[in-house]
Structure 1
């Protein structure tokens, strides 16, 4: 979820004539604020606040209040990925506002890497959820005998390892450079082919192949569900909504990434488009908890029950403390 201006600038090439040159001869993106910067900053702050709160709530409900199942294991992992992104998002917002990176090389690499780790892990988990639902409907007996939370946990661990490996280019190519009192965090691609290869790999492995698998699973599900009577269609509505939100949040970003690789478009248009696309991509991190609350019946029921019990417990403690106070006064 790299955002192409600060850390949203991860795909900006470092060998174009429009860029400025550092003291060591490296070309840097001539980053400037756009008229949309205040709006995008505000949106990202909202994303951060709701993302932190919403995904923490999902982890709490699915992890401690609901029965451990394969699907809750996937949803918890998805929420952890989104939460991790939101933890690092304030650094991106600061860089977006000031165009100065005071957090050092390690945080420059980590922040950019976390954004792509979220992208890969999110889409891979959506693939797992789609395949899992497809198997449940197509092979109900087999899935009942073989699906279990610990196996899902192992698969999730594999997904995180694969996501981390695909995120390595961001760790390798991300660097910082100082211009007087201003420090930039940028991608130091030595040649244009490196930039192109990284962008294409991210697009193919992080979007095209996973989305094709998801679409195939969706078609199979649609065909199978015509002949199956379901107690509730809500789980499939959640899955459909998650897939649609991921698609619409990420398509603009990948589109501008490939336009930026061509270098035949206005730098200002590309810069603005990449920032808008990156903000939409970031918005995907708080869409999941919103969808769970408004579509997931089990999640809503558990949430209401948990909040109600917490309120009742708090009121009971308050009444007990007041009763003790009265007894002490009477004595």
Structure 2
């Protein structure tokens, strides 16, 4: 989904992360301390606890999804989408301990390269996730609008190429973090922050472009696709159930809820002189944790959005996840097969 305009790591010492060098120097008197105070503050300890839980749940949950989609389920277009999402979230979660240590020590001890890399990784995760959600939404829309064509053209190889392109685009849009992230030493502390002072209007350009490319445009496409799908299915009366789209709807809703507050605070930061810096810092801390939580929510949604809730407790965890992820693909396949059959019968009458 930035994190002080650049990632979860940017929001660790959220005050340092969210401003340019001049802003940081202006607030040094109360932000930078020789002795870390995080472990003596309730809200900071709470953030560390939440981050540790996200790390544990994210690593275990996403690793489980990757194992199931890669080894337990038959490879398909649908499993390709879900495995790619899980891989993106897993890689990010594996680097969360860096941000946890930084938050606890209130000192960046990982060097200049990791300052840039950690921030970039956050945005690669954000962009790749939303781009994959867009791809899946378009895929579902095309499958409903053109079932015969989709049945013939939707292949694992093509899905893999699309996933690769989505990742490359996400990496490209994360380059600003590699450019603007910098490390500065002050009062015995190393600070990893966004140094926008070298380029005029760079802060605004980066924040607005990320909001548009990583939120507004993708969600507009997703909303259009799902509107078309709903209208088409209702008109054709091909299904009386919303099950085929429950998982995707939940994933999209989770991404929206997790990332919108973060983007709002990032945009507010552009005019930080009009707001209390402590309110901005606190808001960015909370919104950053919420955004990061999206990385472990996806596998949870795979489990609990599948079949009837009572039935989930009667089956093992692996079966629940496999059923949840396979259900959508099976329903779409039945829809495609039925549409193809209807089109074939219609052609014999023409």
TM bucket by the smaller chain? 0.7 to 0.9
> Which residue is 2:11 aligned to?
5
What is the CA distance between 1:47 and its match in structure 2? Answer: 0.6
Local SS of the residue matching 1:100: coil
8 Å CA contact retained: 1:81, 1:118: yes
Inter-CA distance 292–179: structure 2 relative to 1 (3 Å threshold): same
Deviation at 1:10, TM superposition (A): 4.5
Work out whether residues 235 and 296 of structure 1, in 8 Å CA contact, stay in contact via their aligned partners in 2: no
Whole-angstrom distance in 1 between the partners of 2:52 and 2:148? 46
Q: By how many angstroms is 1:173 displaced?
A: 0.9
Whether the aligned pair in 2 keeps the contact of 1:10 and 1:186 (CA below 8 Å) is: yes
Bigger shift: 54-63 or 231-240?
231-240
Q: Does 1:213 align with 2:221?
A: yes
1:266 pairs with 2:276: yes
How far is the alpha carbon of 1:230 from its aligned partner? Answer: 3.6
Q: Secondary structure at the match of 1:12?
A: coil
Residue correspondence of structure 1 range 171-186 to structure 2 within 5 A:
171-179=178-186, 181-186=188-193
User: C-alpha displacement at 1:15, in angstroms?
Assistant: 2.7
SS across alignment from 2:229: helix
For residues 113-171 of structure 1, what are the alpha-carbon distances to aligned partners after superposition, in whole Å with 9 as ceiling and x for unaligned? Answer: 10000000000000001001111111110100100111000010011111000000001
**Counterpart in the other structure of 2:65:** 58
Asked whether the equivalents of residues 32 and 187 of structure 2 are also in contact (C-alpha less than 8 Å), the reply is no
8 Å CA contact 2:65–2:321 kept in 1: the answer is no
Q: In the alignment, which residue of structure 1 is the partner of 2:325?
A: none
Q: How do 1:157-176 and structure 2 match up within 5 A?
A: 157-176=164-183
CA distance in 1, matches of 2:297, 2:320: 23
Deviations 1:188-236 (A, max 9, x none): 1125611111111110000000010011111111111212424964330
Give the one of 82, 90, 94 matched to 2:89: 82
- SS of match in other structure, 2:21: coil
305 and 287 in structure 1: CA distance in 2 versus 1, 3 angstrom threshold: closer
**Is 1:236 the equivalent of 2:242?**
no
| CA positional deviation for 1:76 | 0.5
> Could you tell me which residue of structure 1 aligns to residue 306 of structure 2?
296
Match of 2:262 among 213, 234, 253: 253
Among residues 187, 197, 201, which one is paired with 2:205 in the alignment?
A: 197
- 1:230-256 Cα shifts (integer Å, max 9, x gaps): 496433000100000000000110111
- When normalised by structure 1's length, the TM-score is 0.84
Alpha-carbon distance, 1:7 to partner = 6.9
Offset of 1:180 from its aligned partner? 5.0
Using the TM superposition, give the Cα deviation of residue 260 of structure 1 relative to its aligned residue in structure 2, in angstroms: 1.1
Q: Structure 1 pair 167/65, CA: closer, same or farther in 2 (3 Å)? A: same
Helix, strand or coil at the partner of 1:15: helix
User: Do the aligned residues in 2 keep the contact of 1:6 with 1:186 (CA within 8 Å)?
Assistant: no
- C-alpha distance in 2 between matches for 1:87 and 1:140: 39
Q: CA 1:275–1:293 in structure 2 vs 1: closer, same or farther (change >3 Å)? A: same
2:105 equivalent to 1:95: no
Any residues of structure 2 matched to 1:280-291 within 5 Å, and which?
280-291=290-301
> Aligned pair count?
301
The worse-fitting range, judged by mean Cα deviation, of 264-273 and 10-19 is 10-19
* CA–CA separation in structure 1 for the residues paired with 2:134 and 2:31: 35
RMSD: 2.6
Question: What is the Cα deviation at residue 187 of structure 1?
Answer: 1.2
How high is the TM-score relative to the length of structure 2?
0.80
* TM superposition shift of 1:185: 1.0
